[in-house]
């Protein structure tokens, strides 16, 4: 039984990125985290964006995040995958710090906005390096954990449209854009909030990766209905290009294919097949070495044109 009535869902007749009506269903995926409902994945034949059809509107989707297994909100230590996630996160936080600092041209104020800041771990890392930090987070539980864990007070997402323009040297969205209903509005607002030589960092899963192709409807990064959109490199470039941006660099997230493959194996087989997941992740990693646009998850380093 659906958790949200159909009349409170979004049904797209045009692509959310390019506006094309040339759409086709490519997959049926199950919500393995909360509801166990099936959702359709639609692909745009023009820009190659995929999106989840009939997702709950923003005011109603919160029930699909209410699970202690949703690590970015709960900070849970339960389960093997959660423990591995948190162990790897210590490394990835330092990697993100390096990526931001090495790709920001001007650091006059060292001001950073993290959209979808979760429990505040990344902002805490940046703050320790002297950055002035602002976080936006829709989940009240995650905001409470950010205060408890790091003494960081994140604000609600509506503040995005109230912040002063030309303020931030860096704006980050680490696995966040796929959750944002106001897709076009967010990218347009990021352009306004960044300084002239500021940098936008967007990390999203990549459905053109080899692990996505291996697992098909069981690929954990589809994560329906929480993931509204499923990006290819071409669709990201199309999206940001419409708002005066251009992609300057593509950087693979090297740990993601292993973590995603572990979850995908669990969804597909009902058990943690670590060896199968490891080799699927390794194959995906090797593919990305030869072609970064085939990485399981990608960080897009984006500048104003």
Cβ-count burial of 197 within 10 angstroms (0-12 exposed, 13-18 middle, 19+ buried)?
exposed
Q: Walk across the sheet containing 229-230 and list its strands.
A: 23-30, 38-44, 50-52, 229-230
| Number of structural domains found in the chain | 1
Residue at 95 is within a domain: yes
Q: H or E segment at 121?
A: helix 121-128
Residue at 1 is within a domain: no
Q: What does the pLDDT look like over 254-277, one tens digit per residue?
A: 999 998 999 999 999 998 888 999
Assign residue 244 the CATH number of its domain.
3.40.50.150
* Nearest of 55, 16, 57 to residue 38 by alpha carbon: 55
Which residues touch 98 (CB under 8 Å, ≥6 apart)? none
Distance of CA 88 to the CA centre of its chain: 17
Mean pLDDT value across residues 280-292: 96
Q: What does the pLDDT look like over 67-117, one tens digit per residue?
A: 765 555 445 555 555 666 666 778 899 999 999 999 998 888 899 999 999
Residue at 47 is within a domain: yes
Does the structure show a pLDDT above 60 at 6?
A: yes
Mean pLDDT value across residues 148-167: 97
- CA distance linking residue 272 with residue 279, whole number of Å: 13
- Find out whether 118 and 142 touch, Cβ atoms under 8 Å: yes
Query: Residue 298 belongs to what domain range?
Result: 6-304
- Find out whether 295 and 209 touch, Cβ atoms under 8 Å: yes
- CA distance linking residue 38 with residue 46, whole number of Å: 25
Which residues touch 4 (CB under 8 Å, ≥6 apart)? 56, 60, 61, 63
Q: Greatest CA span in the chain, whole angstroms? A: 53
- Looking at residue 272, its pLDDT comes to 82
Q: What is the dihedral of CA 129, 132, 135, 141, to 10 degrees?
A: 60
Q: What does the pLDDT look like over 10-30, one tens digit per residue?
A: 999 999 999 999 999 999 999
Does the structure show a pLDDT above 90 at 285?
A: yes
Mean pLDDT value across residues 129-138: 97
- Find out whether 114 and 202 touch, Cβ atoms under 8 Å: no
Q: What is the pTM of this model?
A: 0.93
Mean pLDDT value across residues 133-153: 95
- Looking at residue 78, its pLDDT comes to 56
Distances (CA, A) of 271 to 128, 140, 178, 217: 39, 32, 27, 17
- CA distance linking residue 33 with residue 14, whole number of Å: 28
- Looking at residue 73, its pLDDT comes to 47
Exposed e or buried b per residue across 109-145, where buried means at least 16 C-beta atoms within 10 angstroms of its C-beta: ebbbbbbbbbbbbbbbbbbeeebebbbbbbbebbbeb
Please give the share of the chain, as a percent, with pLDDT higher than 90: 85
């Amino acid at each position: 039984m659906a958790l949200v009535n159909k009349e409170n869902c979004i049904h797209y007749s045009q692509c959310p990125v390019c506006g094309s009506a040339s759409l086709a269903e490519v997959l049926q995926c199950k919500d393995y985290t909360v509801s166990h409902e099936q959702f359709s994945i639609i692909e745009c034949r023009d820009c190659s964006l995929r999106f989840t059809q009939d997702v709950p509107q923003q005011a109603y989707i919160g029930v699909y995040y209410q699970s202690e297994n949703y690590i970015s909100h709960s900070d849970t230590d339960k389960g093997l995958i959660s423990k591995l996630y948190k162990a790897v996160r210590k490394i990835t936080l330092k990697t993100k710090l390096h990526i931001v600092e090495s790709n920001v041209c001007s650091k006059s104020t060292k001001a950073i906005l993290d959209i979808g800041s979760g429990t505040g771990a990344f902002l805490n890392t940046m703050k320790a390096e002297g950055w002035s930090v602002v976080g936006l987070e829709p989940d009240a539980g995650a905001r409470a954990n950010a205060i408890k864990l790091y003494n960081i007070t994140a604000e609600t997402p509506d503040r995005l449209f109230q912040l002063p323009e030309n303020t931030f040297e860096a704006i980050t969205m680490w696995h966040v854009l796929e959750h944002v209903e106001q897709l076009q509005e967010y990218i347009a607002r990021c352009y306004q909030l960044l300084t002239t030589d500021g940098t936008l960092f967007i990390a999203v899963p990549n459905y053109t990766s080899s692990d996505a192709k291996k697992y098909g409807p069981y690929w954990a990064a589809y994560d329906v209905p929480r993931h509204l959109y499923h990006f290819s490199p071409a669709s990201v470039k199309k999206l940001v290009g419409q708002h005066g941006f251009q992609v300057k660099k593509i950087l693979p997230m090297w740990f993601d294919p292993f973590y995603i493959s572990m979850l995908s194996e669990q969804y597909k087989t009902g058990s943690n097949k670590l060896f199968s997941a490891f080799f699927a992740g390794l194959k995906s990693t090797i593919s990305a070495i030869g072609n970064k646009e085939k990485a399981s998850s990608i960080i897009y380093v984006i500048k104003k044109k």
